[in-house]
């Protein structure tokens, strides 16, 4: 029975470690693609040709891919979070829809990650759920055995 509690404590500690490591202060430099254009006939639109757009070394923060409607026209902007005045929490690998429904903002923390065609679905929640599920399976197995 003591093995069960030691193993359970280990799994909980591992889960906490993964959660803490996944949270970043985004103080490290990151290279992002930088462009802005309409979503039609633009070098910045999806699918993006990375050979036709510039790169920018961002001193800190995240890469941003922002799709928004301005004056009835849809635009795509790829840049660094430092270049924008946004009042939302920076969270790696998360997309957020604007309240008025006129756009969405995707954030990512890896070099040149803002060339993605679709929102990235991996998140801290998926990792946490996976660790919790594995922990529960092992706890049930320990009780049965």
pLDDT for position 77: 95
67-108 per-position pLDDT tens digit: 999 999 999 999 999 888 876 777 767 888 887 778 988 988
pLDDT for position 135: 72
- How many helices (H) and strands (E) would you count in the chain? 2, 6
pLDDT for position 33: 96
* Residue ranges, the chain, pLDDT below 50: 118-122
Whether residue 44 contacts residue 78, with contact meaning beta carbons closer than 8 Å, is answered with yes
DSSP 91-134: -TTEEEE-TTSSEEEEEE-STTGGG-SS-----HHHHHHHHHHH
> What's the pTM?
0.64
| Domains of the chain with bracketed CATH | 2-24+125-144 (no CATH), 30-122 (2.10.60.10)
pLDDT for position 119: 46
Tokens encoding 68: 């928004």
């Amino acid at each position: 029975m003591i093995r069960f509690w030691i193993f359970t404590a280990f799994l909980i500690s591992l889960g906490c470690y993964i959660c803490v490591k996944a949270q970043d202060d985004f103080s490290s430099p990151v290279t992002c693609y930088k462009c802005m254009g309409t979503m039609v006939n633009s070098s910045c639109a999806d699918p993006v040709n990375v050979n036709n757009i510039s790169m920018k070394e961002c001193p800190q923060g995240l890469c941003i891919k922002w799709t928004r409607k301005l004056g009835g026209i849809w635009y795509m902007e790829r840049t660094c979070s430092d270049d924008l005045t946004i009042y939302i929490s920076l969270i790696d690998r998360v997309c957020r829809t604007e309240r008025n429904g006129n756009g969405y903002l995707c954030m990512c923390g890896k070099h040149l990650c803002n060339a993605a065609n679709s929102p990235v679905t991996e998140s801290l929640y998926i990792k946490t759920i996976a660790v919790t599920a594995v922990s529960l399976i092992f706890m049930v197995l320990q009780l049965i055995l």
